[in-house]
Structure 1
Amino acid sequence: MPFLDWVNKNQAKSTPREVPYHLLKRESTYGSTAGATENLIIQGDNLLALKALLPFYAGQVKCIFIDPPYNTKSAFEHYDDNLEHSQWLSMIYPRLVLLRELLAEDGSIWVSLDDNEAHYLKVLMDEVFGRRCFVTNVIWEKADSPRNSARQFSSDHDHILVYSKTPDWTPLKLPRTEEANSIYTNPDADPRGPWLPGDPYANKPYSKGIYEISGPTGRSFSPPPGRYWRISEEKLRDLDSDGRVWWGPTGNARPSIKRYLSEVSDLVPRTLWKRDSVGSNRTSKNEMRALFPMEASFGTPKPEALIQRVLQVSSQDGDLVLDSFLGSGTTAAVAHKMRRRYIGIEMGEHAKTHCVPRMEKVVAGEQGGISQAVNWQGGGGFSFYTLGDPAFDEDGRLNTVVKFPTLAAYIWHIETGIPGQQAFNSPLLGIHDGVAYFLLYNGILGDRRPSSGNVLTSAILTHLRALCPADLPFMVYGETSRIGPARLAAENIRFKQIPYDVSMR
């Protein structure tokens, strides 16, 4: 398989390993407690944020949609969108690597771009995800009128490259539309309802596909040269006796096999997404004006119907959706209305000025975008996070500015999968699935010296037993253990060392 090369590619390839872990700092919550636990808006560099999410969400994201800067040399306020190709590739490569780690085995990633970088990105994603995991290139009709100021061609479309985590991924089917159903008719008043005439011939040979048959008027029919009947003569006559063959209004036409609307399934998604179905750039700008009437237009947001289509074929209720270039917040808004869980990452101040206010409006039940189509009435909640301090220094030591509650929440989430919502003010972090979790760190036992009380000794173990007298297995995080492996095993205690058993995750 060919690979794409560019200046500083080796550095870009090493970046995912070298990105430091940061802890996420919850700043505020909105709406219901349950919703605030499940849905995250994060302000910060998405490379750092993606690395921070790995301990919590690796292999759990069902659908990733990103709309990275197009590198069009038309920079706008919220992004540095004027990069050379090599710089753009060095920017996107490590993010794709981390996104792949977050993607579920049955998940897919959708990347929206125009012609400036789409073809480079196709080769790059072949390398990161594997060429066999390329699904398709969706063409989105973004324009609803020609741009006569264009020097060569007026661009009508963008690309959406679709890749999966594994080669056997299949999209969900789309609900049938009135347009799709309108081609079915019922000229003979068939009691089974509207139907569509099917071609009786096939191009490939069939063992019983060469025969001659007579219609109602006595006219004989055979396949044209090089073609074959699709079914056997016996099967064709059985269908005819059941009224499932159409010979034309006079009974003198070649037979057509009826395909009934009542018997067809939902629609396989197609690769051309027209603006009439999923909206255009004008649609999205109008949606933003309705949300923020006093604000200037926000670059090139995506219409809600476009993201709805992506989520319809890639996820179901309760699945986790991620957008690490959140922009104006469309992906989070649509995911919320469609009852998906979501994580949105945005670097600029508009994470606060646009994304959070927009999501507050969604929680309150705003009726723009797809709200009426999905019967959205409001509800749910979300949390707003920022990037906290780096968890570890350059030598792998735990950063001393990381306080006990922060590390406790981090470890609790790693071990249990539950966000650390409780107030961590004791070495006993909690009990989950019959295991008691403890953290010895940062003077939690009352010693004012930050490095004291971090070692598991017999005296400390006695104190931990007092905190949790129940006969449960213990999981203890600390700097080191003075209790030998044999006793730890005998007392059903598993010890994990800080920072190694944290940072290695």
Structure 2
Amino acid sequence: MREFDDDGRIWWGPTGEARPSIKRYLNEVADLVPRTLWTKESVGSNRSSKNEQRAIFAGAASFDTPKPSALIERIIQIAASSSDIVLDSFAGSGTTGHAVLKLNAQDSGSRRFVMIETESYADTLTAERVRRVMTGYGEAKKEVQGLGGGFDYYTVGEPMFLADDNLNEAVGTEAIRAYVAYSEGIPTDDQTTVENPHSPYLLGLNRETAWIFHYEPDRATSLDMDFLAGLRFGASTGAGKPGTVIIYADRCLLSAAFMTKHGIIFKKIPRDITRF
């Protein structure tokens, strides 16, 4: 430290009393120093981003720390192609969506965006900004033409699983069936509704596999001979029994040997049935 200090390589702050820092010169860290300077004239500033917000939302600064859309445009131009999907997990004021729409309008690109926001302003600010820049905003001399485009707005519902890893049955049977079909990877064309000729518990069917979700919200279910007798394949149903049948239920009363012989795979429904 003394050698560095004697050599003028220690910075003690403007008054000489600050925490010491080692000086590094340009020829020592050339590869670590930014070689491009983005000025506020080219990518905006805090002031320009707030002015942009005021113009979109009729004079009111709706968000404390918006980013300039020009800055996000520049980043997207560097990091993504004209057909990429841009993800913003902390969407805030919606600048990312705005920037993507502006770039697409400029170069006829097909970029898409996915924005996520957990705060209460997700619809009234984040999504609303994108709606306004799509359709246009402002009046008279301050009118800004819409950029076009479109987006879908989704909200997250109840969690599918509880803290104890059991199903959250409050989401409803339809949502649970959809989740199981998704987790099993059942192709869309093979998925079925409860109104099918085989079983109201059938989730999906093709030549190789049948997926069955034997679930009732108010009672425990069993995979047993009586349940198998209620399944309908062949004859007038239009489809024979596939080689593999995956059946979800609360408990299994069949032997392993029997299931192996008939191509049955049992999967226990993750829920607490002690209340029944």
TM-score range, shorter chain: 0.5 to 0.7
Report whether the alignment pairs 1:346 with 2:121: no
TM-score of the superposition, structure 2-length normalised?
0.60
Inter-partner Cα distance in structure 1 for 2:226 and 2:245: 15
Distance apart, 1:354 and its partner CA: 1.1
Cα shift at 1:288? 1.8
Task: Provide the identity percentage.
Answer: 35
The equivalent of 2:169 in structure 1 is 400
* C-alpha spacing 1:381/1:325, structure 2 compared with 1 (3 Å): closer
Higher relative contact order (CA 8 A, sep 6+): 1
Q: 1:325 to 1:491 in 2, by over 3 A?
A: same
Higher strand share: 1
Q: Corresponding residue for 1:300?
A: 65
Alpha-carbon distance in structure 1 between the residues aligned to 2:52 and 2:216: 49
- Contact 2:212-2:248 within 8 A present in 1 as well: yes
Change in 2 beyond 3 A, CA 1:315/1:277: same
> Structure 1 residue 456 and structure 2 residue 227: aligned?
no
1:135-158 C-alpha deviation (Å, 9 max, x unpaired): x9997xxxxxxxxxxxxxxxxxxx
Amino acid in the other structure paired with 1:410: Y
Partner of 2:22: none
Query: What SS is found at the alignment partner of 2:154?
Result: strand
Matches within 5 A, 1:236-251: none
Structure 1: unaligned runs, 5 residues or longer: 1-135, 140-269, 369-375, 444-449, 501-505
Partners of 2:66 and 2:95 within 8 A in 1: yes
Aligned-residue CA RMSD in angstroms?
4.1
Q: Which residue of 2 aligns with 1:438?
A: 212
Question: Structure 2: how far apart are the matches of 1:439 and 1:293?
Answer: 53
* Closer, same or farther: CA 391–471 of 1 in aligned 2, 3 Å: same
Match of 1:309 among 60, 69, 74: 74
**1:469–1:349: structure 2 CA closer, same or farther, 3 Å change rule?**
same
1:334 to partner: Cα distance = 3.7
Q: In the alignment, is residue 384 of structure 1 matched against residue 176 of structure 2? A: no
- Cα 1:286/1:402, change in 2 over 3 Å: same
Contact residue 335 and residue 342 of structure 1 kept, 8 A: yes
Mapped to 1, the partners of 2:238 and 2:156 lie a distance apart of 34
Structure 2 CA distance for partners of 1:412 and 1:495, relative to 1, 3 Å: same
SS of alignment partner, residue 496 of structure 1: strand
Compared CA separation, residues 461 and 278, structure 1 to 2 (3 A): farther
Distance 1:451 1:138 in 2: 66
Report the TM-score when normalising by structure 1.
0.36
Is residue 393–residue 399 contact of structure 1 (8 Å, CA) maintained in 2?
no
CA apart distance, 1:320:
4.4
Superposed CA offset, 1:356-403 (max 9, x none): 3233345x45489xxxxxxx8524431321341462243x33233232
Change (3 A) 1:271 1:294: same
1:410 alignment partner, one of 166, 169, 179: 179
* 8 Å CA contact 1:458, 1:483 repeated in 2: yes
Cα distance in 2 for residues equivalent to 1:314 and 1:486: 56
Q: 1:418 to 1:301 in 2, by over 3 A?
A: farther
- 1:288 pairs with 39, 50, 53, which one? 53
Give, in whole Å, the separation in 1 of the partners of 2:66 and 2:125: 12
Deviation at 1:284, TM superposition (A): 2.2
SS in 1 for 2:156: strand
- Write the letter of the residue equivalent to 1:441: Y
1:335 positional shift: 4.5
Partner in structure 2 of residue 99 of structure 1:
none
Q: Distance in 1 between matches of 2:150 and 2:192?
A: 23
1:189-228 matches, cutoff 5 A: none
